[in-house]
């Protein structure tokens, strides 16, 4: 077994974490273009390296989501083998179980789940806010004529209530009442011990009114200032621990002025990086990234939260995204949706019952080099856990490799050609994703 990093960089006995153990090193940036979405035709896509106490992340990179300190049905060792550089876990779910004190006593998230590499945790903001309206985060929501600050998804009850200080919510596990605030989120994430964590923010939906979006941006800024103060206090007091980087989150929905205002606000604070968050319509997702990058210092890495559609990844990578996370590859795989260079297909179609070829011709992942479509189809139809494992390995490998190749294309000066060829092939048959 590969030994974990018992003493990560920047962790000296009796001393606060050394902030210099975290940094971003930019390598190659896309040339500006007459069609560039940034100010003056700027294209903010780039390659680089994020240096963390538990190792480096070559960017752009895909960050698989190990929600509860685990990739569902896939071991950390298998994630390493398929090429994943880092993993993201969910602060809200780990708060509910097993509790942040367990991970703290175990030596932090990476050691707890036997992952020898960098880790992220989100703030819990998305999960807590989504309890309020019952909607999943959706990029392409059609909200024409549906603006309302009291909207609730059909069949759901409001389980979260926002006020100036934070959020009160009912646990979806047992209905117990809990409270999240900037300080509480920081305390939980410090105990979880990830290399990169996010400030507590208010996630809105595209259905919220303009007035509410304005109020939310200002509230998120006030919470961000509290997060920075609490992060600095906890860093100074938790001696002998590696430094944990803190990213501020930019909200503002589809409004350019709000996104720019929020970006300027977040960039004015002492954050290590930025998270591009919130609900965004697919048609302007690249524009939103460019607006934010216009207002952000280039030395700060940028993480795009919850993105996994292939065209969205290209749009965000071209316009400044450095890292990307999403649950979709694993979740889709468990439901039989397989991503390939030629689009997404359903492995449980009748045509695959006697297909003894790989999930994708030419794919080098463990699943495709050892198992057939017919076998994975059988496993998923039979609800066998091995089917979840094999489908997830392939889908995660697809997205990890896609970002690896985007990185190589930027370094090699052929990003535009690679994007055009890849998207034309992927969507040739009207594929989703």
Known catalytic residue at 18: no
Query: Is 278 a known ligand-binding residue?
Result: yes
Query: Is 126 a known ligand-binding residue?
Result: yes
Query: Is 368 a known ligand-binding residue?
Result: yes
Query: Is 326 a known ligand-binding residue?
Result: no
Alpha carbon distance 279, 234 (integer Å): 31
Task: Give the chain's radius of gyration (CA, Å).
Answer: 21
The DSSP element (H or E) to which 102 belongs, if any, is: helix 100-106
Of 122, 272, 322, 377, the catalytic one is: 122
Closest to 212 in 3D by CA, of 255, 282, 149, 265: 149
Known catalytic residue at 325: yes
Residues in the chain: 433
Query: Is 394 a known ligand-binding residue?
Result: yes
Of 195, 287, 322, 325, the catalytic one is: 325
Q: Judge whether 123 and 249 are in contact, CB under 8 Å.
A: yes
Pull the structure tokens for residue 107. Answer: 């030596």
Q: Judge whether 336 and 380 are in contact, CB under 8 Å.
A: yes
Query: Is 251 a known ligand-binding residue?
Result: yes
Alpha carbon distance 84, 306 (integer Å): 17
φ and ψ at residue 206, rounded to 5 degrees: -70, -10
Query: Is 201 a known ligand-binding residue?
Result: yes
The crossing angle, in degrees rounded to 10, of helices 310-318 and 285-294 is 20
- Please list the residues that pair with 414 across neighbouring strands: none
Find where tokens 């077994």 sit.
1
Binding site per annotation, positions: 122-126, 201, 251, 278, 363, 365, 368, 394
Binding site per annotation, positions for substrate: 122-126, 201, 251, 278
Which residues belong to the active site? Answer: 122, 325
């Amino acid at each position: 077994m590969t030994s974990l990093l018992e003493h990560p960089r920047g962790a000296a006995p009796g001393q606060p974490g050394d902030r210099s153990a975290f940094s971003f090193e930019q390598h190659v940036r896309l040339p500006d273009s007459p069609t560039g979405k940034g100010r003056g035709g700027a294209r903010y896509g780039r390659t680089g390296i994020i240096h963390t106490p538990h190792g480096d992340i070559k960017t752009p990179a895909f960050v698989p989501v190990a929600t509860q300190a685990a990739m569902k049905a896939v071991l950390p060792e298998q994630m390493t083998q398929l090429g994943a550089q880092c993993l993201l876990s969910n602060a809200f779910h780990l708060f509910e179980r097993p509790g942040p004190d367990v991970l703290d006593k175990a030596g932090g998230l990476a050691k707890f789940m036997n992952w020898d590499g960098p880790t992220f945790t989100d703030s819990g903001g998305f999960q807590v806010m989504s309890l309020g309206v019952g909607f999943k985060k959706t990029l392409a929501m059609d909200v024409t004529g549906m603006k309302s600050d009291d909207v609730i998804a059909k069949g759901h009850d409001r389980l979260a209530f926002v006020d100036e200080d934070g959020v009160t919510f009912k646990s979806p596990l047992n209905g117990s009442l809990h409270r999240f605030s900037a300080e509480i989120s920081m305390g939980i994430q410090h105990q979880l011990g990830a290399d990169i964590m996010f400030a507590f923010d208010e996630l809105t939906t595209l259905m919220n009114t303009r007035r509410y979006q304005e109020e939310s941006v200002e509230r998120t800024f006030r919470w961000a200032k509290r997060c920075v103060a609490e992060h600095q206090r906890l860093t100074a007091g938790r001696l002998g621990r590696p430094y944990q980087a803190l990213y501020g989150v930019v909200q503002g929905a589809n409004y350019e002025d709000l996104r720019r205002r929020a970006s300027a606000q977040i960039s004015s604070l002492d954050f290590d990086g930025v998270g591009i968050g919130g609900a965004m319509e697919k048609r302007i997702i690249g524009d939103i990234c460019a607006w934010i990058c216009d207002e952000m210092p280039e030395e700060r890495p940028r993480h795009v939260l919850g993105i996994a559609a292939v065209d969205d990844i290209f749009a965000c990578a071209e316009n400044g995204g450095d890292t990307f996370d999403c649950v979709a590859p694993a979740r889709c795989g468990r439901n039989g949706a397989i991503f390939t260079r030629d689009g997404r297909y359903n492995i449980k179609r009748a045509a695959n019952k006697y297909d003894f070829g790989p999930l994708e011709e030419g794919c080098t992942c463990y699943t495709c080099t050892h198992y057939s479509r017919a076998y994975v189809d059988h496993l998923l139809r039979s609800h066998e856990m091995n089917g979840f494992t094999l489908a997830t390995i392939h889908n995660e490998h697809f997205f990890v490799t896609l970002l690896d190749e985007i990185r190589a294309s930027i370094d090699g000066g052929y990003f535009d050609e690679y994007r055009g060829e890849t998207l034309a092939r992927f969507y040739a048959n009207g594929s989703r994703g």
